[in-house]
Structure formats: C-alpha cells, structure tokens
Amino acid sequence: MSKKVVTMGEIMLRLSTPGHERFIQADEFDVCYGGGEANVSVSLANYGYDTQYITAVPANPIGECAVAALRKHNVGTDYIVRSGERLGIYYLESGSAMRASNVVYDRAHSSIATAKVSEFDFDEIFKDADWFHFTGITPAISDSAIELTKAALIAAKKAGVTVSVDLNFRKKLWTSEKAKKVMTELMQYVDVCIGNEEDADKVLGFKASSTDVTKGELNLAGYEDVFNQMADTFGFKYIVSSLRQSYSASNNGWSACIMDGNTREFYHSKTYSVTPIVDRVGGGDSFAAGVICGLLDGKDMKNALEFGVAASALKHTIPGDFNLVTREEVENLAAGDGSGRVQR
C-alpha cells in the first residue's frame, strides 16, 4: 500500500511574462498554477506516493482550473473546500544574467486566506496518513491561515503523522518579527525542518556566519553550528538546508546539507552547476519533495539528500512551478549522469 502524504497551502494562478520580458513589455502572459505545498504534492505524486492536497478555492471556473491542474498530475483533491471569493494570483517577471526575477502578489482575501478551521475535517484528512508537509508561506497569508495551520498540525501529531516544514520566508507577506513569533510556536510539532540560510535567520533567528550567497560564498561550518543550535532548541529529527550560490540569475551552484538531530552527523551533498536556468520558481519545493521522498523510501539521510538535490537541479530546467520529472531521471542524475544526452 502506497504511503499517504498530506500537504496544505495556497494554490495560485501564475501569470508570467513570455521569455524574459519585463512586465512593461508584456502584451500577454503565460498561464499555469502552482504554490509551495501544491508543488511538493505534484512531485510526490510523480514519484508514486498517494498525495492529498488541502486548500480552499472559489466555486468558480478559475478555482476548478486550479483543481484540474492538480488532478492532471495525480494529486488527490478529495478534501479541497470550495469557499471564499477568489483565487490568489502572482505575476512573475523572469530575470536573466545579473537582472533578478521579480514577483508581484495579488492574493489578499483569497479563499485559503479566509478559510475557517471548521471547514476541514482534519481527523478524517489525517486518517492513515504517514506524512504532513506545510510551509511558512501559509501562516504568512493571514491570521486565519495561522489558526488553520496550527489546527492541522495538532491533528497531524494526534494521528502520529511525521511533520515537515519548509520555512520559506516571504518578506512581501510578513515581517521577520511576526514570522519568528508565529513559526517558533509551530516548531513544537515539526520533525523535519527544511529551509535555507535566509529562512533560518528571518524565521527562527539562527544565522550562518561568513556566508553570502550573493557572492557565491558558503561556510559549511557555520551551517553545522546553526543546525546544532536548531536541534538543541527544537529537537528536530533532521535539519536540512538547500545551498544556492547565486552567481547570476542564469547561473547558480546548487547543493544542500543535512544533520541528524540525534547523532549530530552532518553531511554536504555534491554540488551541481545549474546553467542556463530555465525557471527557478519551485526549486526549493522540488528539493523538499525529493528529500521527503527519499526518507519515505527508507533511504539513509545522505542518499535522501542526494535525491532531493538532483530532483531540484532538474527542476531548474523545467518551466512552470511543477517538477515534472520521473524517479528514473532523478536517480540517473544522482548517480552521476548529467550529460543531457538524447535518450533513444
């Protein structure tokens, strides 16, 4: 029987400029759907897991398009609620070379932002579930979403479900001060904590010394120190961080590190040179999904991390939010085949 993974968050309509046009140049937008936890669900469904995505969408054709996008990729939509007034939107201007990408949100008062705890039967949702994944984006959406996230976490732990979080700090949604207040309280329910250096600093107040991703510099000893502090403070089973070295918007170094919170074993993955980048949106989500998949598969933490890093490196080559790769493709890259040769 396939293991059941539940994720919860906001799926949005994504409107992106064609190619690398600026907003002011665009006469049309490319349309797709995505969102942190939805992207994780799609990846895990691709890898063969039974996934259920929890959200609220408006009872209109746009809401149904979002649900259809999930169903297309075998994500379970049994518990999606139809309520509220609108689907959140985000506009994406893809950067290139030294010009950064830019995101504009239009998600205030979206269906999930106004959804109430009473609309969801969390006891039923987590029945027979093995894993629950959420991100720091969902509680950042609204105060109602904070209560919704907390209720889901309490129900997940009551059901004995393993819980992972991707800290995912979004400065356009809330301040670091509010993020620390809210997320610190929620960490008591978390087994596996995933993030990057900015997330650890802005969300939980832990900073890796001598690291500047904008200069392509990493200090692994600093990450190990931060991971030890996080393990001491919250008792996480695993602490995981993606490591992006941003040489430009088109050229990144990509790796990750992980620590066993019990033994304090620390491991740094192989590093991929990802260039040219087609679309980095969803890169962190594909990484989180890969690590979760590896751990659910029963891989040791090193191999789970390598699977996640390889999956995410491949996501950078795919337009859209979803990581539409197979297990075989990820495993081949993790095993060392990054040639990109035509498969005949």
Q: Please tell me which residue in 191, 201, 260, 285 is annotated as part of the active site.
A: 285
| Beta-bridge mates of residue 60 | none
d(CA 169, CA 215): 21
Give the DSSP letter of residue 265.
Answer: -
Confirm whether 285 is a catalytic residue: yes
Strands 266-268, 251-260: pairing is: antiparallel
- Cβ(118)–Cβ(187) below 8 Å: no
Cα angle 261, 262, 266; round to 5: 55
Closest C-alpha to 222, from 235, 203, 241: 241
Q: Which two tokens stand for residue 282?
A: 């969803």
Closest C-alpha to 125, from 78, 162, 187, 189: 78
C-alpha dihedral (288, 292, 293, 295), degrees to nearest 10 = 140
- Which residues have a Cβ under 8 Å from the Cβ of 5 and sit 6 or more positions away? 41, 44, 49, 50, 51, 52, 129, 130, 131, 132, 133, 292, 296
d(CA 258, CA 260): 7
- Cβ(58)–Cβ(85) below 8 Å: yes
Any idea which residues carry the catalytic annotation? 285
